[in-house]
């Protein structure tokens, strides 16, 4: 049995995989240890019958000494893979002191290679009939014997033997040659996890050095300032590479591993004058060899005064290629050693690039972009700026057509790899995507590989956030604000500043009151994936049931309170309170939903023709109006064509009577980078964790009180009741995943 089906699971014995809901949007590929698949196959061969412990040990672990709980471990893995409850035992049933049985039907899709004694009965019957004694007699009677000299018979036998031996030798040669030259199947079962760091700090942007001897990462002092560190895997010794705190981005090595290139921003703790001067990303380099001996100050290569920069890649010839933003469009530019500025490498009037990689062996650049049709494309570009190939990326149904991909080069094959959180996919240069495995660990998005492709380094962890409903009367307007330097979140420490209204150890956030009702909706990952939940007094109900790797970025109640509109993986959905759901067909990516207004109009940020915009979209007429032709992080409409919005630099603006201006009294008040608008008033939190309100009509600003340091943001207000999101615990650590056997 090589391929068979149990319930809605396909068991692929050759690949040691169980595939759930194959071909559907919920398809999940699970790779299990070979012994576990063998145990399931033994059950399938004896479906409905009890398979004893001794039989399993003799067949699966023949001539092998194993621990007594080996079978139980396999049963646990199988029940998890088949979604079988250990108490109900609907699929695999335990028979005390006897063994186990498979309780559901088995459908064989492909059997093992069949030999002559394994042929179906009808074929065996025809073979036996031709060689029966009666037929043999008839044949001898019908044909007279032919007399051939003995020497001729001997020569014929010798020649026949020689030919057979030659054919056998040729067949063996072909098999050996194919086995030698054919590629070994790629093992994407990264099932062994090794922790690399264990500090109380937040750590991000992990990657391997080119020789695989070091793991680099950024260690944060809070949520902004960080230093670049590295750990030598052989000795376990850590080295601080940068001399001073900054805000450092992802990094790229030279091929020999001597130097790093990365983007850097001013430290969050610097004075206002310094911060204003260096508020954008600059291209920096660092001597890695020197930094291993003593922390170094990064060297400025190009200032961001020449345009926003991103994704620096070091080429084999010593040049650096990066993405450069000009007039809202990202293109490729090149930096040469000693040159005062960059030179354009490749530009396209039809594409906006967002990701850049380098194939070292082929010395070719791989760039991902969004074109004017909102299609994602993959381009192969030479170091001289010649476009070698361009393909539209073909996505399976399980991946949103608007999701930005963040792949890495697979060193073992001519392809890229990326994770959507729980699933690992391959992406070819021709734009083909295929799922290669399902990751068995926590949500893993930003992955990097070592030089052989046998290990993945990433950051694993979680942030435990809860929702609190508090009364505004508990805050004291005269309480002193918190100093900014004392507001850093301490990782691996549990706190609960305000009583949580629906405590869990997952992420619960962004709660909102139901208009004209008593319900509260919020986003939660408590069921394993981002979903909308409803709180009705003390009763909790999961409203949505999106598949794994879904990320809900925002939602809004309908003005009537009868349904919820949400954005999930850049697509728009409407969910009724009876859990029925419908997708709103859009021709562009929906990034955030800010408001659902009384006239059935949505206020949303989108990406059209690869460019960000703030628009209104009427659900009845399907007409849209562009309000802001740029990136926005928050918005609200009120009164007669009045608009509040947060721009790409997190500044708050107001538009009234075709006049747009920054609100003077709120210039330094947008600490949480978001606001709420309710009954003509604006509410927010500043960097000192002070809760404030502002009335645009009267230009009145007031401080309402000081909130706890661990308050993340406020999400809604009704009367004197406030909904907020607070951090309970945060844990992030660098880990390495390898595909070592079980």
Q: What is the pLDDT of residue 682?
A: 95
Mean pLDDT to the nearest integer, 48-72: 81
Position 179 pLDDT exceeds 60: no
Q: Are 199 and 314 in the same domain? A: yes
The tokens 């059935």 sit on which residue? Answer: 600
Query: Which residue's entry shows tokens 């697509």?
Result: 571
Residue closest to 16 by CA, chosen among 111, 70, 81: 81
pLDDT digits (tens, 9 = 90+) for 592-608: 999 999 989 999 999 88
Task: Determine the pLDDT at residue 191.
Answer: 78
User: Does the pTM exceed 0.75?
Assistant: no
- The per-residue pLDDT for range 441-465, each reduced to its tens digit, is 666 768 899 988 889 999 887 788 9
Q: How far apart are CA 402 and CA 589, in angstroms?
A: 6
Out of 96-105, 252-261, 442-451, 685-694, least confident range? 442-451
Q: Domain boundary residue among 80, 110, 140?
A: 110
Distances (CA, A) of 475 to 393, 480, 671, 718: 52, 11, 18, 16
Question: Looking at residue 314, which CATH number applies to its domain?
Answer: 2.120.10.30
Which comes out higher in pLDDT, residue 177 or 81?
81
Residue 367 has pLDDT above 70, yes or no: yes
Q: Residue 20 is part of a domain; what is its CATH number?
A: 1.10.10.10
pLDDT band at 276 (very low <50, low <70, confident <90, very high): very low
- Distance in angstroms (rounded) separating the CA atoms of residues 417 and 739: 15
Taking only the tens place, the pLDDT of each residue in 288-324 is: 999 999 999 998 888 777 778 889 999 998 899 999 9
Q: Give the pLDDT of residue 380.
A: 96
Say what the pLDDT of residue 65 is: 62
In a domain, 677, yes or no: yes
Query: Does pLDDT of 14 surpass 70?
Result: yes
Last residue of a domain, one of 93, 110, 127: 110
Percent of the chain at pLDDT > 90 equals 45
Domain span holding position 65: 3-110
Task: Note whether 634 and 595 are within 8 A (CB).
Answer: no
Looking at residue 564, its pLDDT comes to 98
- In the 8-state DSSP scheme, what is residue 303? -
The helix-helix angle for 34-45 and 53-60 (nearest 10°) equals 130
Which pLDDT score, from 0 to 100, does residue 466 have? Answer: 94
Whole-angstrom distance, CA of residue 599 vs CA of residue 604: 15
Residue 452 belongs to a domain: no
Highest mean pLDDT among 275-284, 341-350, 488-497: 341-350
Residue 500 clears pLDDT 70, i.e. is over it: yes
Same domain, yes or no: 106 and 196: no
Residue 102 has pLDDT above 60, yes or no: yes
* Alpha-carbon span 577 to 565, nearest angstrom: 11
Strands 364-371 and 376-381: antiparallel
Q: What is the pLDDT of residue 80?
A: 86
Q: What is the pLDDT of residue 68?
A: 60
Mean pLDDT, residues 181-200 taken together: 75
Nearest to 80 by CA among 120, 32, 136, 142: 32
Question: What integer pLDDT is reported at residue 533 of this predicted model?
Answer: 97
| The predicted structure's pLDDT at residue 138 | 29
Q: Are residues 246 and 329 in the same domain?
A: yes
Whether residue 447 lies inside any domain: the answer is: no
| Bridge partners (DSSP) listed for residue 684 | 692
pLDDT in tens, 486-498: 445 555 556 778 9
The helix/strand/coil state of 440 is coil
Q: Are residues 199 and 323 in the same domain?
A: yes
- pLDDT tens, 155-169? 555 566 666 666 766
Confidence grade of residue 127 (pLDDT, cut at 50, 70, 90): very low
Are residues 696 and 581 part of one domain? yes
What pLDDT is attached to residue 616? 95
What's the number of domains the chain is made of? 3
Q: Which of 349, 371, 393 is the last residue before a domain boundary?
A: 393
- pLDDT tens, 518-549? 999 999 999 888 999 999 998 999 999 999 88
For residue 418, what pLDDT is reported? 93
| Rounded-to-integer distance, Cα 314 and Cα 383, Å | 11
- Look at 262 and 272; give whichever has higher pLDDT: 262
Q: What is the pLDDT of residue 69?
A: 75
Q: Is 25 a residue whose pLDDT tops 90?
A: no
Q: Is 174 a member of any domain?
A: no
Q: How far apart are CA 529 and CA 574, in angstroms?
A: 18
What is the predicted pLDDT for the residue at 366?
Answer: 97
- On whether both 518 and 648 belong to a single domain, the answer is yes
Q: Which residues contact 135 (CB under 8 A, 6 or more apart)?
A: 129
Give the model's pLDDT for residue 494: 62
Note whether residue 8 is domain-resident: yes
One domain for residues 73 and 203:
no
pLDDT per residue as tens digits for the range 131-144: 333 333 222 333 33
What pLDDT was estimated at residue 720? 92
The sign of the CA dihedral 303, 306, 307, 313 is negative
Residue 483: band (very low, low, confident or very high) from pLDDT cuts 50, 70, 90 = low
Same domain (yes/no): 559, 480: yes
Residues 665 and 549 placed together within one structural domain of the fold: yes
Residue 741 falls inside a structural domain: no
For 655, the 3-state DSSP assignment is strand
Asked whether residue 101 carries a pLDDT value surpassing 90, the answer given is yes
Residue 56, burial from CB neighbour count under 10 angstroms (0-12, 13-18, 19+): buried
Are 517 and 388 found together in one domain? no
Looking at every residue in the chain, the average pLDDT score rounds to 83
Rounded to whole angstroms, how far apart are CA atoms 622 and 606? Answer: 15
Give pLDDT tens digits for 611-637: 899 999 999 999 999 999 989 999 999
Give the highest mean pLDDT range of 18-27, 76-85, 115-124, 167-176.
76-85
Tallying the residues shown for the chain, one arrives at 742
One domain, residues 625 and 506: yes
- Structural domain includes residue 607: yes
In a domain, 651, yes or no: yes
For residues 349 and 259, membership in a common domain is answered with yes
pLDDT of residue 716: 96
Residue 701 reports pLDDT greater than 90: yes
The residue ranking higher by pLDDT, 380 or 611, is 380
């Amino acid at each position: 049995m090589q391929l068979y089906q149990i319930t809605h699971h396909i068991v692929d014995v050759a690949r040691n995989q169980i595939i759930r809901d194959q071909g559907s949007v919920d398809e999940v590929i699970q790779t299990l240890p070979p012994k576990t698949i063998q145990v399931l196959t033994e059950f399938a061969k004896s479906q409905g019958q009890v398979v004893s412990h001794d039989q399993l040990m003799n067949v699966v672990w023949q001539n092998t000494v194993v621990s007594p709980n080996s079978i139980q471990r396999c049963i646990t893995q199988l029940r998890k893979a088949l979604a079988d409850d250990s108490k109900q035992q609907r699929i695999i049933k335990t028979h005390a002191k006897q063994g186990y049985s498979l309780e559901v039907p088995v459908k064989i899709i492909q059997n093992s290679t069949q030999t002559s004694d394994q042929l179906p009965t009808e074929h065996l019957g025809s073979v036996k009939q031709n060689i029966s004694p009666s037929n043999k007699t008839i044949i001898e009677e019908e044909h007279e014997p032919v007399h051939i000299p003995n020497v001729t018979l001997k020569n014929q036998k010798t020649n026949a033997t020689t030919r057979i031996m030659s054919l056998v030798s040729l067949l063996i040669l072909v098999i050996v040659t194919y086995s030698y030259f054919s590629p070994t199947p790629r093992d994407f079962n990264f099932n062994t996890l090794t922790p690399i760091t264990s500090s109380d700090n937040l750590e991000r942007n992990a990657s391997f050095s080119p020789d695989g001897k070091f793991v680099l990462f950024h260690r944060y002092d809070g949520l902004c300032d960080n230093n670049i560190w590295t750990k030598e895997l052989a000795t376990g010794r850590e080295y601080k590479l940068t001399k001073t705190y900054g805000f450092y981005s992802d990094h790229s090595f030279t091929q020999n591993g001597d130097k790093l290139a990365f983007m850097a921003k001013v430290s969050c703790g610097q004075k206002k004058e310094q911060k204003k001067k260096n508020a954008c990303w600059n291209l920096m380099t660092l001597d890695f060899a020197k930094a291993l001996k003593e922390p170094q100050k990064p060297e400025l290569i190009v200032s961001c005064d020449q345009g926003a920069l991103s994704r620096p890649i070091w080429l084999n010839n010593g040049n650096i290629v990066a993405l450069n933003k000009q007039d809202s469009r990202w293109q490729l530019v090149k930096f040469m050693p000693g040159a005062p500025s960059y030179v354009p490498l490749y530009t396209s009037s039809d594409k906006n690039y967002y990701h850049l990689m380098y194939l070292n062996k082929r010395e070719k650049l791989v760039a991902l972009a969004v074109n004017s049709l909102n299609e994602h494309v993959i381009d192969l570009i030479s170091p001289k700026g010649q476009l070698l190939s361009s393909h539209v990326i073909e996505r399976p149904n399980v991946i949103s057509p608007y999701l930005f991909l963040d792949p890495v080069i697979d060193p073992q094959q001519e392809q890229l790899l990326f994770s959507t959180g729980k699933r690992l996919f391959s992406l070819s240069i021709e734009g083909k995507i295929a799922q290669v495995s399902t990751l068995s660990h926590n949500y893993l998005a930003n992955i990097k590989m070592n030089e052989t492709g046998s290990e993945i380094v990433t950051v694993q962890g979680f942030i435990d956030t809860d929702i609190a409903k508090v009364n505004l009367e508990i805050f004291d307007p005269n309480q002193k604000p918190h100093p900014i330097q004392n507001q850093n979140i301490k990782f691996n420490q549990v706190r609960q500043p305000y009583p949580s209204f629906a405590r869990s150890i997952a992420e619960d956030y962004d709660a909102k009151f139901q208009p004209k009702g008593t319900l509260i909706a919020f986003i939660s990952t408590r069921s394993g994936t981002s979903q909308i939940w409803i709180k009705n007094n003390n009763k909790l109900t999961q409203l949505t049931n999106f598949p794994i790797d879904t990320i809900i970025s925002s939602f809004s109640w309908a003005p009537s309170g009868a349904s919820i509109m949400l954005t999930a993986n850049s697509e728009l959905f409407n969910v009724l309170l009876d859990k029925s759901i419908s997708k709103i067909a859009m021709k562009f990516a929906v990034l955030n939903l800010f408001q659902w207004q009384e006239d059935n109009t949505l206020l949303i940020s989108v990406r059209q023709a690869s460019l960000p915009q703030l628009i209104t979209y009427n659900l009845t007429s399907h007409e849209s109006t562009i309000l802001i032709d740029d990136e926005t992080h928050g918005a609200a409409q009120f009164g007669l064509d009045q608009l509040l919005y947060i721009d790409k630099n997190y500044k708050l603006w107001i538009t009234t009577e075709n006049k747009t201006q920054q609100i003077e009294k709120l210039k330094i008040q947008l600490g949480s980078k978001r606001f709420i608008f309710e009954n003509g008033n604006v509410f927010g939190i500043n960097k000192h964790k002070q809760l404030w309100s502002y009335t645009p009509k009267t230009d009145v600003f007031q401080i309402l009180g000081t909130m706890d340091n661990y308050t993340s943001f406020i999400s809604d207000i009704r009367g004197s009741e406030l909904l907020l999101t607070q951090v309970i615990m945060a844990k992030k650590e660098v880990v390495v995943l390898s595909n070592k056997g079980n």
